[in-house]
């Protein structure tokens, strides 16, 4: 059995009286797409923020590739190979699409105390940036300001920014948020293309996407993992159906 790439061990995060993450343990194996699902308020986004290093956990441990990263700040985690996308699109709105991605490439290409050379003509940044844009289907849109993109394109750029850091583990926080059915289907295809190259933790409400992409699924309720397993196991799990999936199944 291979070592897990990411191990979360009895993680706790409290906000005042509310326990958003409640002794949560989770393992992500190399190469898998591990979906995290759960009803609203289950603490999915809080979990992503703790893995990415934006929120400091109150207790517990996060190990990534064998290293304890619980106390590392977000930029340091990025350099160890963790990348995230945001549920609410978070781009450099006033820069061009290519500048957005090139900046993410630049973050992983040594220090940035270079004051005079034109970064926009720097092939070391621009070539990888264009390659990433091609992968997410934005090759034609490089010179457009990020703010001028359509919602669906912004969601693609959101993922491109994460991919440009060449992560070993990609944390996707609701990549389909706000997308129509057709756009979602296209996004699922794109993610299918990406999944062979990088391990993914996928937080998503869209169950079609989850069951289409996930190798394993963890179900979160009130900050606790109530079940982990292969999609068919989760589908059959009585506890999960009761807590979460039940009404969705009935509806479909």
Partner 1 sequence: MKSLDARGWTALALILLLVAVPPLARTFDQNFYLLLFTRVVIMTTAAISLNLILGYGGMVSFGHAMYVGIGAYAVGISSFHGLNDGWAQMALAMAVAAVAALAIGAMSLRTKGVYFIMITLAFAQMIYFVAVGLSRYGGDDGLTVKRRSDFGLFGLKDPAVLYYVALAVMLAALWLSWRMVNSRFGLVLRGAKSNDRRMAAIGFATYRYRLAGFVVAGTMCAVAGVLLANFSDFVSPATMHWTRSGDLIVMVVLGGMGSLFGPLFGTVAFLLLEEVLSGITEAWQIIFGPLLLALVLYARGGIDGLLAKRTERGDG
How far apart, in whole angstroms, are the C-alpha atoms of residue 43 and residue 26?
14
Binding test (CB under 8 A) with partner 1, winner from 13, 34, 44, 84: 84
Q: Which stretch binds partner 1 (CB under 8 A): 101-109, 135-143, 149-157, 212-220?
A: 101-109
Among 1, 116, 123, 250, binds partner 1 (CB under 8 A): 116
Report if residue 200 touches partner 1, rule: CB under 8 A.
no
Contact 85, 161 (CB under 8 A): yes
**Binding flag, residue 51, partner 1 (CB under 8 A):** no
**Residue 149 binding partner 1, by CB under 8 A:** no
CA dihedral 234, 235, 239, 240 (to 10 degrees): 80
The Cα 142–Cα 33 span in angstroms is: 29
Q: How many angstroms separate the most distant Cα atoms in the chain?
A: 62
220: its two tokens: 């979160």
The span from the CA of 252 to the CA of 250, in Å, is 6
Q: Among candidates 40, 8, 33, 46, which has minimal Cα distance to 210?
A: 33
**Of 1-9, 80-88, 129-137, 240-248: span binding partner 1 (CB under 8 A):** 80-88
> Cβ(36)–Cβ(8) under 8 Å?
no
- Contact residues for 55 (Cβ-Cβ < 8 A; gap 6+): 13, 46, 49
Contact stretch for partner 1 (CB under 8 A) within 8-16, 61-69, 114-122, 209-217: 114-122
Note whether 172 binds partner 1 by CB under 8 A: no
- Judged by CB under 8 A, the residue of 104, 169, 187, 245 near partner 1 is 104
CA distance 42 to 57: 16
Q: Which of 56, 73, 189, 249 binds partner 1 (CB under 8 A)?
A: 73
* 119 touching partner 1, by CB under 8 A: yes
Residue 119 DSSP symbol:
G
In the complex, minimum distance from the CB of residue 106 to partner 1, in angstroms, rounded to a whole number: 6
Least separation in angstroms between residue 114's CB and partner 1 is: 4
Please tell me the distance from the alpha carbon of residue 235 to that of residue 246, in angstroms, as a whole number: 9
Token readout for 249 is 């199944």
Q: Which CB, 184 or 199, lies closer to partner 1?
A: 199
Q: Is residue 165 within the footprint of partner 1 (CB under 8 A)?
A: yes
State which of residues 17, 113, 196, 251 lies at the interface with partner 1 (CB under 8 A): 113
Which CB atom, from 2 or from 117, has the smaller least distance to partner 1? 117
Chain residues binding partner 1 by CB under 8 A are 52-54, 73-76, 78-79, 83-84, 86, 90-95, 99, 102-104, 106-108, 112-120, 122, 125, 161-162, 164-165
């Amino acid at each position: 059995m291979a070592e897990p790439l990411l191990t979360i061990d009895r993680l706790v995060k409290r906000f005042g009286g509310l326990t958003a993450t409640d002794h949560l343990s989770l393992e992500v194996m190399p190469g898998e797409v591990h979906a995290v699902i759960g009803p609203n308020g289950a603490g999915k986004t809080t979990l992503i923020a703790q893995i990415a290093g934006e929120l400091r956990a109150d207790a517990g441990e996060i190990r990534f590739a064998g290293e304890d990263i619980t106390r590392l700040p977000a930029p340091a985690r990025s350099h160890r190979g963790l990348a995230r996308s945001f549920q609410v699109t978070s781009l450099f709105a006033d820069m061009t699409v290519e500048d957005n991605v090139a900046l993410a490439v630049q973050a992983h290409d040594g220090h940035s105390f270079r004051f005079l050379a034109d970064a926009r003509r720097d092939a070391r940044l621009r070539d990888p940036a264009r390659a990433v844009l091609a992968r997410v289907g934005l090759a034609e849109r490089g010179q457009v300001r990020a703010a001028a993109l359509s919602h669906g394109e912004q969601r693609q750029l959101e993922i491109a920014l994460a991919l440009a850091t060449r992560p070993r583990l990609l944390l996707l926080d609701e990549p389909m948020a706000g997308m129509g059915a057709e756009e979602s289907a296209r996004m699922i295809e794109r993610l299918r293309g990406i999944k062979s190259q990088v391990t993914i933790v996928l937080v998503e409400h869209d169950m079609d996407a989850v069951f289409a992409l996930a190798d394993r699924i963890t179900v979160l309720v009130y900050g606790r993992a109530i079940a982990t397993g292969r999609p068919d196991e989760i589908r059959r799990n009585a506890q999960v159906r009761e807590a979460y999936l039940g009404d969705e199944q009935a509806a479909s």
